[in-house]
Chains A and B, each alone.
Chain A
Amino acid sequence: MRKKWEWSLLTIGCIVVLTVGSMGVAHAQSYPNKPIRLVVPFIAGGAADLLAREVGQKLAESWGQPVVIENKPGAGGVIGAEIVAKAAPDGYTLVLGTVVTHAIDVSMVSKLPYDPIKDFSPITLVGSIANVLVVNPSVPANSVKELIALAKSKPGQLNFASSGSGLSQHLAGELFKTMAGVDIVHIPYKGSIPAITAVVNGESSLILNVLPTTIPQIKAGKVRPLAVTSAKRSAILPDLPTVSEAGLPGFDVVSWFGILAPAGTPKEIVAKLNKEIVKILQMPDVRDRLFKQGAEPLSCTPEQFDAHIKQEIVKWGEVVKKSGAKME
């Protein structure tokens, strides 16, 4: 009798071990076999959201499983990122992380409820949106150098608008301030649209605004573009110099977006996601639509993304320290 018991237990034990063990493998093989959640830490309709929906829809089409976009806006993206940091690492919950959630917040937010490196498995970058330095047409400056000279001659009198404290436009402005050595006053608005509107109607003199909401105003001639903030020229506005070329060498501010999974997600799933998303980002119709919105598609390997995040954290940490920008 005892022998029978032992054999049964052993058999059951083996089956359990095999099943659990194979779940890791079977998962990757049969992944995905249920809907995937892509958490977007921003409101529906914003640049980040549209980017995510683009990728999500194509992913759903090629894998036959729905990709559900969950908007969890708030606190500059912290809420959405936190949710995914704490989610189960089974590849069914992903987040659209950005430069704000994964590089800036760690230096700006005093008690960040997640660690951008340790709590996440990066999958790939998906796109970047440059900021463009524009001024109100009445401002007598036609280039970055002239703007800096103007600001130096009128300390404390020029205003720069931003889409909110602690977001990339604010810090871009602060970086400009410290690198150029000028005294310009930060005026925060609630979002990039009121901010650019303020520059259009003259309430603020300049702004380093994200490209999508600025393009219409540039095309209409309501604001004068001086330079793009990325290190390389923008493919969307190829005639504009970069701030780096135009007077502040080394200036590089870009809002990048990428997809991440919680830490501990199996490598096979990460690889599968990476492969598919990179493929999507090479599709001509996707690239075309992203360009039209002012975003440049990017892609890379998970390791490259990981390195990129680490670099960005260091860089933005410096900016925050040097400029003394803080959330009071």
Chain B
Amino acid sequence: MDLLHNLIFGFGVAFSPVNLLYCLIGVIVGTLIGVLPGIGPLATIAMLLPATFYLSPVSALIMLAGIFYGAQYGGSTTSILVNIPGESSSVVTCLDGYAMARQGRAGPALAIAALGSFFAGCVATVIIALFAPPLAKIALEFRSPDYFSLMVLGLVSAAVLARGSLLKAFAMIILGLLLGLVGTDVNSGASRYTFGISELFDGISFVAIAMGMFGLSEIIFNLEAKGKKEIFTSHIHGLMPTKADVKASWKAVIRGTLLGSALGILPGSGSIIPPFASYTLEKKLAADPSRFGQGAIEGVAGPESANNAGAQTSFIPLLTLGIPSNAVMAMMMGAMMIHGIAPGPEVISKQPDLFWGVVASMWIGNLMLVVLNLPLIGIWVRLLTVPYRFLFPAILIFCCIGAYSLNSSALDVGFIAIFGLLGYVFRKLDCEPAPLILGFILGPMMEENLRRTMVLSRGDPTIFFTRPISCGLLLAAAFLLMLIVFPTLRHKREEVKE
């Protein structure tokens, strides 16, 4: 079979000592970057790019790719341990992962995240090998109306994330949308809500909001809690997932992988939407949705698999069409061009060692990551047994430095404080930050695509329904909305009757 041939060929390329070494370097650096809040794979790849000039193109790409998906692994570590998402794709992992850590189950959470990611990585590798060109064509079919409808679906599912009042969840989503609009408007160039502060022209930094609303508010809450109880229970329930854990998670992993692989291909949405979608799906399919947010392991397994699968499949548009799906891919494209390779449909045929070598290296990289991360779990878990009064200043330091290091901007650090206050106030009022963050991420894209669609269709809104993809997504959103709203209404009516 051709596929087998190609894969074997690819493994031959990827298994060379040089490429193995660079793969290892890439994933280690990537994991470190993911764990450190603030610095992300983009800046790291930019810094390391000159170092790759003297390498062969295959080695260079293998290393850079390793940094990218390695960062996904690292990002989930901080989400689980200290409720701080290292990357936007790790936000969802905070919800149940951190809850599990509080219950002494950080080990199983980290392990399931690693194993789920590994499974997803393997499957995604096969998918890339088999379906890259046709999948890329599908991805290209997505136009502005379809993206808008996808965002609508995403936002409706954001309401599912919340555990409390639906009204508050929707309000938080809207507030998140508004926060996302801060900055320069793409369509007109006008600057909104910037108060003349030039650093706000490109919007509030995600890192500041995430660290503030998740991390800082969590710290304040923990500090004000009365009583001698330690924040992280010192009774560790073992480092590895139990049989029950695995039984509960394996379906979530599969679903997450498929969801992530499908959604990761879409240029622009990249690795942000898959974890959210997976979480929503798991919560809706679960027998007891109220467990979510309190340590349901499916809430970690699904999203983690989704985000790793998404990270890998996001390579597809670049490797097959020469269209980078996100900023990191754009850097890779630059790296390829520097090495004299024109990314595009011919890469598969004209540079098979590059394509298959990189694909095979993704599998190897995932394996390395699991081997590296699993033993580290013991260390991470032990870290949590440190008394909180030592732990939280350390968290504060890494947050502040991490945020500052992004753009050497003290203002970003100041924003952490502002959003920390906001996050604290909202939690006191029973409003959850997760829907807000999703609104923040998706809002600008949603508005941009809405306005562009209206210009393209010359003001005709029916285009959202005449395009099949868009229509399908909007119907799914409406269906999901009904699923969410009606049970709540019924519940309310019963409550009022009493």
Instruction: Give chain A's interface residues, CB within 8 Å of chain B.
Output: 43-47, 49-50, 53-54, 57, 69-76, 78-79, 82, 108, 111, 113, 159, 164-166, 185, 187-190, 193-194, 196-197, 200-201, 203, 212-213, 215-217, 219-220, 222, 289, 292-294, 326-328
A residues near B343, Cβ cutoff 8 Å: 216
B residues near A215, Cβ cutoff 8 Å: 337, 342
Which of A45, A74, A111, A222 is the one whose CB lies under 8 Å from B199? A74
Q: How far is the CB of A199 from chain B (nearest CB, A)?
A: 11
A residues near B187, Cβ cutoff 8 Å: 165, 188
Given contacts A197-B267, A289-B53, contact A45 B337 (CB under 8 A): no
> What are 11 A-to-B residue pairs whose CB atoms are below 8 Å?
A43-B42, A43-B327, A44-B43, A75-B201, A78-B201, A111-B196, A190-B186, A194-B268, A212-B334, A213-B333, A220-B346
Given contacts A71-B43, A166-B189, contact A201 B342 (CB under 8 A): no
Interface positions of B from 175 to 190, Cβ below 8 Å from A = 184-190
Complex-state Cα separation, A165 to B339, whole angstroms = 32
Closest 8 CB pairs of A and B: A327-B189, A44-B46, A216-B322, A165-B189, A45-B331, A75-B201, A220-B344, A74-B202
Q: Give the size of the chain B interface in residues (CB under 8 angstroms).
A: 52
Q: Could you tell me if B340 and A201 are in contact, using CB atoms closer than 8 angstroms?
A: no
A residues near B143, Cβ cutoff 8 Å: 201, 203
Which of A46, A75, A164, A293 is the one whose CB lies under 8 Å from B337? A293
- Mark interface residues in B203-214 (1 if CB within 8 Å of A CB, else 0): 000000000000
A residues near B240, Cβ cutoff 8 Å: none
B residues near A57, Cβ cutoff 8 Å: 50
B residues near A53, Cβ cutoff 8 Å: 46, 49-50
Q: Could you tell me if B46 and A45 are in contact, using CB atoms closer than 8 angstroms?
A: yes
Q: How far is the CB of A194 from chain B (nearest CB, A)?
A: 7
Q: B378 at interface (Cβ–Cβ under 8 A)?
A: no
Interface positions of B from 257 to 273, Cβ below 8 Å from A = 267-268
Which of B190, B321, B328, B448 is the one whose CB lies under 8 Å from A327? B190
Complex-state Cα separation, A111 to B268, whole angstroms = 32
Q: How far is the CB of A205 from chain B (nearest CB, A)?
A: 11
Q: B198 at interface (Cβ–Cβ under 8 A)?
A: yes
Q: Could you tell me if B202 and A73 are in contact, using CB atoms closer than 8 angstroms?
A: yes
Complex-state Cα separation, A192 to B99, whole angstroms = 41
Complex-state Cα separation, A215 to B331, whole angstroms = 15
Which of A71, A166, A193 is the one whose CB lies under 8 Å from B407? A71
B residues near A289, Cβ cutoff 8 Å: 53, 338
Which of B196, B267, B334, B456 is the one whose CB lies under 8 Å from A45? B334
Q: How far is the CB of A295 from chain B (nearest CB, A)?
A: 10
Which of B46, B144, B344 is the one whose CB lies under 8 Å from A203? B144
Complex-state Cα separation, A111 to B198, whole angstroms = 11
User: A43-B42, A74-B201, A189-B186 are known contacts; what are 20 more A-B pairs with Cβ within 8 Å?
Assistant: A45-B327, A50-B338, A57-B50, A71-B43, A71-B46, A71-B407, A74-B202, A75-B184, A75-B201, A113-B198, A190-B186, A196-B323, A212-B337, A216-B333, A219-B344, A292-B338, A292-B339, A292-B340, A293-B334, A328-B189
Given contacts A45-B42, A187-B456, contact A219 B330 (CB under 8 A): no
Q: How far is the CB of B407 from chain A (nearest CB, A)?
A: 6
Q: Could you tell me if B202 and A217 are in contact, using CB atoms closer than 8 angstroms?
A: no
Residue on B with the closest CB to A54? Answer: B50
Q: Could you tell me if A45 and B45 are in contact, using CB atoms closer than 8 angstroms?
A: yes
Q: How far is the CB of A174 from chain B (nearest CB, A)?
A: 13
Q: B141 at interface (Cβ–Cβ under 8 A)?
A: yes
Given contacts A45-B46, A79-B199, contact A188 B186 (CB under 8 A): yes
Complex-state Cα separation, A193 to B321, whole angstroms = 12
